[in-house]
Each structure stands twice: as structure tokens, then as C-alpha cells.
Structure 1
Amino acid sequence: MSVPAVQPGNPQEDIAALAKGGRTNFFGFLLRLAARLPFLFIAGRLYGAESLGRFASALVVVELTAMICSMGEKRGLAQRLSEAPDERPANLVFDGILIATLASLAAVAFFWLVPAPMFPSGEYTALDRLIVLAIPGYALTEIVLAAQAYRFDVGTTVRARAVVEPWTISILAGALWFVIPRSGLSMAYLASIYAGLLTALWPFFRTYGLPSGWRPRPRAMARFTWRALPLASADAIEWGTRRLDIFILGLFAAPAAVGVYYVAQQVASLPQKLKTSFEPILGPVITRNLKEKNFAAIARQVCQVGFWITAAQAGIALALGIPGEAVMGLVGPNFVGGTGALAFLLAAEVVAAAAVVAEAALIYVARFRNLIVSVATIGLQAVLTIGAMIAVDRLDLPETYKAAGAALALVLALGTASIVKSIMLGRMLRQRINNWRWALVYAAAPAIVVGWLATRLPEWAELAFGIPLILLTYGWVIWRYGFGPEDRVLFRRNLEHGDNVAAPPAASLEGEPRP
């Protein structure tokens, strides 16, 4: 069956749609948190840091390859659907599915024959090699979820990514340890990917139906693939900046050190999911305003969402970072050494917020220039990370310093990208792009004091009472002094047409850029 395209709306409706998507996926963030911690506990306590490190190294290659094979459809599909309102949407989606499937199968064949990139330590079992089969499942899930997001259906993403996938891998990792302890993590991950895909396909077919009169069009699909390469590369690079450090660590450090870093990264990536909370809704809103040449609205939406993300991530970073030793200790005593890496990784997620929301618009208005900046970012990160590895070796420091050095390199690289991409988007739109507000400092100061007091408590009390108190202190101050009327719509369930939602001052309406 066919579904009507997204209809143009006014600025209040755009903000309401963004807020609704953010609220839905914030609930998904809480579900991810509830599911991620059991997996880390099981993986750390049962499998150990060394097995977790081997699993993490393989995961990097598999998921990066899958992102490339999805051909940028996570964000590019919204533009293709907007530009072809008269064509059956299911047909357009299946064009992307076919290309992703062919690319994924080619990647599966390559890595099955050449598994060394996935296992740099050279240690793996026959079952571990089967993890390559996750590539097509991951790529197709990205496309299906992007199609649902175009219809403002964020609930499917929450169910697939925040409920089914994490709980599947957590439950199976625990069960398979008794059966195949050396390969349980790989098999649990493989099962979780296809469980998530099946969860996404059911509402997808209900929304879009099956294609009608569709057949492969080699020439058109070749043009689409060529056009999608910048988006695919930008997606892969943005994702790769969060995994390059693990890959380099796998080359320079022992698997146990990689395992410790992976745990720190998994904890730190929890606030990263807040950015993806808005991406599915921000893409269609931006593409529609581009079609209407409403550049001031794009700047307003980017600044609005950027502040929401920065404020939320800063609070979560404080809540997880201040009691960092207790958080890492939950996974096992051998993981406490990754506390420094955890602190830097949490900081990296905060400074990256500006780059992510700016890129949400840049991929449509300056995709090649955005790609160049992204390539330069990951190149800078690689140089800084390798430099940190060499410095630790020459100074004869413990392996845990390599993990902290890799995390610091990520902070510096993402901070640079945020500055450059915000300036670039501002010039393109001729609007002021700025996510910063001093209220972030006012809220962080008392939260830090509360957190320091919480570290004086026993470890169980530090976690049980310290984390909620830090969040409550930070949240009350940011709500009282940082959130205006246009921000508080994020916490409303409905926004009526008559509501007067003021535009944030960061996006003035002066001047319109050249199209």
C-alpha cells in the first residue's frame, strides 16, 4: 500500500515533530541503558577482557562495512523520497535494498576468505568467522529504519535498536557461554542483528507494502550509487571515528586492553544515542525546508536540536563520569583501569554534538565539502591516536594509558570537526550557528560538587544515589536557567497550532543565502 508523503508544516509543527521524535528515542535511550549494562556485566564477568577485545575488533570491521554497504540510505533515503513524490515509495526503498544486498554479499565473501582484518590478533574460531553474516542484516536494518523514520515512525527504531537487539545479545551471551564459551559473543551478536531486522521489517511492510511494477534498473541504480557515495562515505566516516580507536588499539595493544577500552566506549556511547534520537526526524524536516528554500528555519532547527543534545549529553556525561571507577567496576575489577578512557570518551560525545547536527544539514547543502572535512577529521584522529600509542610505548607506561590516549585523540578530533562544520554551515546558510549557552556551565558546577560528595560514599551508594542526584541537580538548574519556552516543548506531549513558540536567538532571520 502507498503512504502519503510528508506534508509541509509550519515552524511550530517542525519543532513539535523534532521534540516528539526526541522524546520517543529518549525513552529508547533508557531502554538501551537497561539492556546494555547486563550485556557488559555478562561479557566482562563471564568471557573476560581478552575475549571481549577480540569480539570488539571483529565488530569494528563488520559494522563499518555494513554502514558502507547501506550506501548512505540512513540519511539519503529521505532526500530521494522527497524528490520523487509521484513514484511508489516502496519501489524507491527496494532500489536501495537491492544495492545494499549485493554490496553486502560481496563484502561477506571477501571477509570470509580474508578474515585477518577482523581478527588482528590472529585468534579466532570457525564460529567466530560467521560474524561476517551480520553485514547484510545490519545494512538492511539501516535502510528499513530510515524508511520508517521518513514517516516519522521512530518507535520502530526504538523497538529494534533499544529493545530487541540489546536484550537478544544479552540473553544469548549468557546462555551461549555454557555451550560455546569461546564464540558465544559472536553468535549472540549475529542473532541480535537478524532479530532487529525482523522487528523492523514487520512495520515496514505494513507502512510501504510490497513494490509494484518494480524491476532492477541497472543504469538508474548506478547513478543512484554514484550520487550516494558522498553520503555513504560521510556515514561511514562519522561512525568510523567512534571505532577507529578500537581498530588501532587492536594493532598496538593486547586484546585485554582492547576489551577494557570497549567497555568504556560502550558506556560512553550511551549518550551518543541521544544524537541519533533526532537524526531520523531532523533529516525529513531539513530536506523539506531546503525544497522550500527556508534556510533560516534550517538554522533554527539545527541550533535548537544542537542545544537539546548538548545539554542532555553533558548531564549524562557528568552522571557516568564522576563515579567512573564504580561504573567500570561493575563489569569487573580488571576494567577499573579504563576509567580515564571513559572520562575522555564521555567528553568526546559532548563536543561532538555540534558537528553531528551541523552535518545533518551539510550532507544536503555541501555534501562534498562535508565529506572532505570528515575525511580530514578521521585522518587527524588516526595521526593523534597512533602518536599516543607510540608515546606510551616509548615512555614505557602501562597499557591502560594507550586506551586513555586513544580517547583523548578522539576528543581533539571531534572538537575540531565541531568548530569547522558549524562555521561552514553558518556561512552556507548565512545564519549564526551556535549550540552553546552559559547555562551549561551553571548546571554543571553544582552537579560536579554533588558528584564529588557522592564519591565519598560506599561504591553501591555512589551508584544507587550518586548518579540520580547528579542528574537531578544538573537537570533542575538547566531547566530553570537554560531552557526557554522553545526548549520546553521537548517535554510536552502535544503542541497546538496556537502555541507561541519563540525562535531561539541563535538563528536570526536576516538575509537569505544563495540557493
Structure 2
Amino acid sequence: MSADAAETAALAKGGRTSFIGYVLRLAARFPFLFIAGRMYGAEALGRFAYATMVVELVAMLATLGLKRGLAEDMARRSDAESHALFDGLLVSLLAGLAGAALLVLLPQLVFPATRLHPLDRWFALIVPFIVMSDVALAGLAFRLDVGATVRARSIIEPWVLSIAALALAFTAVKSDGMLIAYLLSMVAAAIASLVPAIASFGLPRGWRPDPRHLWHLARTNVPLAGADIAEWGARRLDIFILGRFAGAEIVGIYYVAQQIQSLPQRLKSSFDPILAPVLTRNLAAGNIAKVAVHVRQISFWVAAVQLGVVLALGITGQALMGLFGPIFASGAAILAVLLTVELFAAQAAVAEGALIYVARGKNLIWSVAGLVIQAGLSLLLVPRLGGLGAALALALAALILSVAKSRLLARQLGHKVSGWRLSLVGAGVPAALVGLLVLRAPEPVQLSIGIIAILGSYGLIIWRFGFHGADRLLFSRSMRKIEAEATTMPVLPGTADGRGH
């Protein structure tokens, strides 16, 4: 098996494993949303959504870009990978403790305009656990161990959250039940991340913290951290502004729509753990054309699978939102717009996976610009349209960033990087027509047979007419088939399958 074929197979396997893990995570997340909506209510869910947004933002800051930057540091220190891991853990832990201390001193940042409960001040102490989990999983991903991320993030974390939230709903601490469940789930995920990381890398013999290297590590990854924060902030800015201009109930409805939207969103991030090491190794070897091929291939995979999911969930949106309570059904239009956001944002997100290594400064500038555009549009639209205004602002900003970042990466690499093909339209239109027929059926039928019919019609067409050669690696189980098809993959500029489709 050639090196090129092995990399493509690794990308397909890693993305497939990570996405299957996310499907497992969603399977546990939906029960939590059902429990939260039916047993706690939209207002309590809105309070939970805002609080977790703030602590996750601080955790993102504290990782200092190491979720992606750690792979580059390990590639440079191949003889001391365990030292690199523990350097990353230490510097991010120190930053996490500082961030947690700030929120403990100022709990109003986490719970604005609401009465503070006894637990609220100490809720921010979860930040160091989130940070260490993220860095440990980034280290494991460098060794192509995506399974650890699946176990920690897709099985342990969401199921602990759902089970704990259900149990606490019948206790005297119900008012803080969701927050306590979140704390338990994040601690469990941290343990499930650190244990396999230490088992894989071992304890770092002869390692001593070097303040100069730790400072250099943090400073070097500032552009990465900025890009991470801008991308993450774009996904949370809408919640932040809604929390300021709308009531907790509206935030709760928007949060449910956002959680459903996260399924197609995760299609892209499923490739992140495996994409970083593959790109860094090729860039270090000067294989620019191969980098462009990998970006193009993943862009098409993401777009192809996303479109089917977006159509199925968007068309049946009212019935789907209504599952969590009658009041949530009013968020169907918000869900439709948020799902459309993913079609715009995916190409920019995949392009950024390479831009953070070849044009960090320019990528950061565009990320910040996108955040500013979204903020301006949100402040204009949210007071007038509420949750729908927040979703529309996010969609317009995502479209602008998608075009800008794809073009920037194409100029940097000198090769085409877009994964969009006409076959996507050819499969999407018939699936949308099937969806119009599905809407005539009762809601239970829409959510069962209807979703299957939309996905099935789309999948059959895109598989038959849109997937060729290396494209089919994403759904291949047999390694022999992977080897046979992957050897046909070109490393020269052009379409991902070499046939001009």
C-alpha cells in the first residue's frame, strides 16, 4: 500500500470512526435534551446553555490552541513525544486554573441577570478538567488514536450527563440538577482522556518543566488559539447576544435547535483529529499538492454527507423540535436556518484545517473579521427577529467566511481546494422533492419513515452518480478494498477522484 493511499485510508477511517462516535454521542444527547425540555423546562435549559457556554469559552482560551498545535510540536520532537504532551498539559492547566479563578471571583459572568444559587460560584472549577481532557485527546490523536476521543466524548460524557440529569430531577437539588450533571460528565470525560494518554505515552522520564519552552509553546500557538476562539465564538456568539436581548426561554429553544444542528456540524470536526497529523507531516515534507488533495477530498466527503442530513432534519424540523415539548416546535424556522449554516461553513472549516499551518496570521484576521460581521448583524437582527435573527446573522457570516477562506487557501497552496461538485445538486433536488411529500404525512411518520425516505433517496443518487474511486473509501469496511481503491488516488491537482466529477 503506497504512502498516499495509506494516508487517504487513514483519513477515511479516522473520520468514519470519529463520526460514528458522534452519532453515539448524539444518541445520548437527545435523551438529555428530552429530559431537560420535559422535566426542567425551556427557561432552566436556557440558563444551563449560557453557563456552559461561558465555561467552555474560558476552557477554549486556556487550551492555547494546543488542540491542533500539539500535533505540530510533537512532529518536531518525535524523540520526546511524552515530554511534548506533558508540556502541553502543564501550560494549559496553568491557564485553565487562572481562567477558573476569574470566574469564581465574578460568577455574574456565568449567570447574568439571574439569582445565584449556592453551587453557581464554584461551577467554573470544571474548566481545568475540560482543558486537560482536550489536550490529552489531542496527543492521542497525533498517534492516530481516535477511539479514545470516541469513548471519552461520545460515550462516557453524554451518557453520564443524561443519566445524572434524569436522576437529579427527582431530588431536592433539581434547581441545579443539570449543572451538577454537567460537572459529573466533564470529570468523567477527563479521567477517560488522561488514563489512555498516560498509558500510551507513559510517564515522561527525565522531564522537567522549562519556563522558557512553555512560554515559547504558548506564544507560538497564540494565532491557533485565536482562530479556535473565533471559530468557537462564531458558534456561541448567537447564544451570548440572545442571552442579553431575549429571555431564558428563547435561549432554551434556540439551544435545542443548535444541538440538533450540531449533527451535520460534527461531520467536519470528525476529521480534525486525523487531519492535523496528516497535514503537518506532508507540509514538513514539502508535499503541497498532497495537502490540497486531502483538503479537497475531505471537503467533498463533508459536503456530500452534510447535505443529506441537512435536508432530512430541516424538512422535518417542526416535528423534530416538537419532540422536546410543544413550546420548542416554534423553533422550526431557527433550526432550518442553522442547518443551512453548516452548508456554508463546512468549506471554510476544512480549509482552516490547513490554513492554521500555512497562513496563521491571515487565517486569524479572517476569523476575527467573520466574528465582527456576525456580531454586527446579530445586534441588528436579534432585537427585531429574536432567535431567527441570530441564526440569519450566523448564516450570512458563515457564507462570507466560506468563500474567503477557501480562496485564501487555494492561493497559498497554488491548487484547487473546494470540494463542491454538481453531483451534490443532482442528488439534493430529488431528495427535497421526496421531503415535500413527507410533509403531508403525520409527524410520527415524518420522524420515522420520512427521514429514512429522504436520506435513502439522497444516498442512492449520490452514491451512484457522485462517488467514484477514492470517494468510496469513506464507507469502505474492507481494508483490501481500501488498498485497491486508494492506489488509484492521484496526488496531482484536480478533482478528488481524478475523473473531473
Q: Same fold (TM over 0.5)?
A: yes
Does residue 216 (structure 1) correspond to residue 209 (structure 2)? The answer is yes
**Partners of 1:296 and 1:506 in 2: CA distance:** 6
Give the match for residue 291 of structure 2. Answer: 298
Of 21, 31, 36, which residue of structure 1 is paired with 2:24? 31
Give the match for residue 414 of structure 2. Answer: 430
| 1:257-296 matches, cutoff 5 A | 257-296=250-289
| 1:193-212 matches, cutoff 5 A | 193-212=186-205
Give the match for residue 490 of structure 1. Answer: 474
Q: How far off its partner does 1:447 sit?
A: 1.1
Does residue 354 (structure 1) correspond to residue 341 (structure 2)? The answer is no
Q: Tell me the SS of whatever aligns to 1:241.
A: helix
Q: Does the CA contact (< 8 Å) of 2:470 and 2:488 recur in 1?
A: yes
Q: Does the CA contact (< 8 Å) of 2:295 and 2:351 recur in 1?
A: yes
The amino acid of 1:468's aligned partner reads I
Give the match for residue 97 of structure 2. Answer: 105
Q: How far off its partner does 1:497 sit?
A: 6.8
Does residue 316 (structure 1) correspond to residue 309 (structure 2)? The answer is yes
Q: How far off its partner does 1:212 sit?
A: 1.0
Q: How far off its partner does 1:505 sit?
A: 8.1
Q: How far off its partner does 1:240 sit?
A: 1.1
Q: Does the CA contact (< 8 Å) of 2:59 and 2:128 recur in 1?
A: yes
Deviations along 1:305-357, whole A, 9 cap, x unmatched?
01101111111111111000010000000111111110111111121111111
Q: Does the CA contact (< 8 Å) of 1:433 and 1:506 recur in 2?
A: no
Q: Does the CA contact (< 8 Å) of 1:303 and 1:507 recur in 2?
A: no
Does residue 481 (structure 1) correspond to residue 465 (structure 2)? The answer is yes
Does residue 66 (structure 1) correspond to residue 59 (structure 2)? The answer is yes
Of 110, 122, 132, which residue of structure 2 is paired with 1:118? 110
**Partners of 1:467 and 1:162 in 2: CA distance:** 23
Alignment gaps of 5+ in structure 1: 1-7, 393-400, 510-515
CA distance 1:504–1:303, shift in 2 (3 Å):
farther
Q: How far off its partner does 1:123 sit?
A: 2.9
**Partners of 1:503 and 1:388 in 2: CA distance:** 46
Q: Does the CA contact (< 8 Å) of 1:173 and 1:185 recur in 2?
A: yes
Give the match for residue 407 of structure 1. Answer: 391
Q: Does the CA contact (< 8 Å) of 1:54 and 1:121 recur in 2?
A: no
The amino acid of 1:167's aligned partner reads W
Q: How far off its partner does 1:507 sit?
A: 3.7
Does residue 454 (structure 1) correspond to residue 447 (structure 2)? The answer is no
Of 68, 79, 95, which residue of structure 1 is paired with 2:72? 79
Q: Tell me the SS of whatever aligns to 2:154.
A: helix
**Partners of 1:479 and 1:210 in 2: CA distance:** 47
* Alignment size in residue pairs: 492
Q: How far off its partner does 1:202 sit?
A: 2.1
**Partners of 2:117 and 2:434 in 1: CA distance:** 47
**Partners of 2:309 and 2:214 in 1: CA distance:** 42
CA distance 1:261–1:440, shift in 2 (3 Å):
same
Q: Does the CA contact (< 8 Å) of 2:289 and 2:491 recur in 1?
A: no
Deviations along 1:220-249, whole A, 9 cap, x unmatched?
111111111111111111111111100010
Q: How far off its partner does 1:102 sit?
A: 0.9
Q: Tell me the SS of whatever aligns to 1:373.
A: helix
**Partners of 1:307 and 1:276 in 2: CA distance:** 14
Does residue 237 (structure 1) correspond to residue 234 (structure 2)? The answer is no
Q: How far off its partner does 1:502 sit?
A: 2.9
Give the match for residue 5 of structure 1. Answer: none
Q: How far off its partner does 1:270 sit?
A: 1.5
Q: How far off its partner does 1:501 sit?
A: 2.3
Q: How far off its partner does 1:121 sit?
A: 2.2
**Partners of 2:379 and 2:145 in 1: CA distance:** 41
Q: Tell me the SS of whatever aligns to 1:183.
A: helix
Q: How far off its partner does 1:263 sit?
A: 0.5
Give the match for residue 500 of structure 1. Answer: 487
Q: Tell me the SS of whatever aligns to 2:107.
A: coil
**Partners of 1:292 and 1:41 in 2: CA distance:** 49
TM-score by length of 2: 0.96
CA distance 1:163–1:469, shift in 2 (3 Å):
same
Q: Which moved more, 1:114-123 or 1:226-235?
A: 114-123
Aligned residues: CA RMSD: 1.6
Of 5, 8, 21, which residue of structure 2 is paired with 1:15? 8
Q: How far off its partner does 1:481 sit?
A: 1.1
Q: How far off its partner does 1:508 sit?
A: 7.3
TM-score by length of 1: 0.93
CA distance 1:358–1:47, shift in 2 (3 Å):
same
Q: Does the CA contact (< 8 Å) of 1:128 and 1:187 recur in 2?
A: no
Give the match for residue 395 of structure 1. Answer: none
CA distance 1:327–1:498, shift in 2 (3 Å):
closer
Q: Does the CA contact (< 8 Å) of 2:63 and 2:225 recur in 1?
A: yes
Deviations along 1:455-505, whole A, 9 cap, x unmatched?
211111110111111111111111111111110011123232785323388
Q: Does the CA contact (< 8 Å) of 1:79 and 1:287 recur in 2?
A: yes
Q: Does the CA contact (< 8 Å) of 1:446 and 1:474 recur in 2?
A: yes
**Partners of 1:438 and 1:124 in 2: CA distance:** 53
Identity %: 50
Q: Does the CA contact (< 8 Å) of 1:159 and 1:199 recur in 2?
A: yes
Q: How far off its partner does 1:129 sit?
A: 3.1
Deviations along 1:369-408, whole A, 9 cap, x unmatched?
1101100011111111111023x1xxxxxxxx31111011
CA distance 1:29–1:188, shift in 2 (3 Å):
same
Of 147, 158, 162, which residue of structure 2 is paired with 1:155? 147
**Partners of 1:508 and 1:389 in 2: CA distance:** 41
The amino acid of 1:363's aligned partner reads I
**Partners of 2:491 and 2:377 in 1: CA distance:** 36
Q: Tell me the SS of whatever aligns to 2:209.
A: coil
The amino acid of 1:220's aligned partner reads H
Q: How far off its partner does 1:119 sit?
A: 1.4
**Partners of 1:9 and 1:94 in 2: CA distance:** 33
Q: Tell me the SS of whatever aligns to 2:301.
A: helix
Of 170, 181, 189, which residue of structure 2 is paired with 1:178? 170
Q: Does the CA contact (< 8 Å) of 2:289 and 2:493 recur in 1?
A: no
Q: Tell me the SS of whatever aligns to 1:496.
A: helix
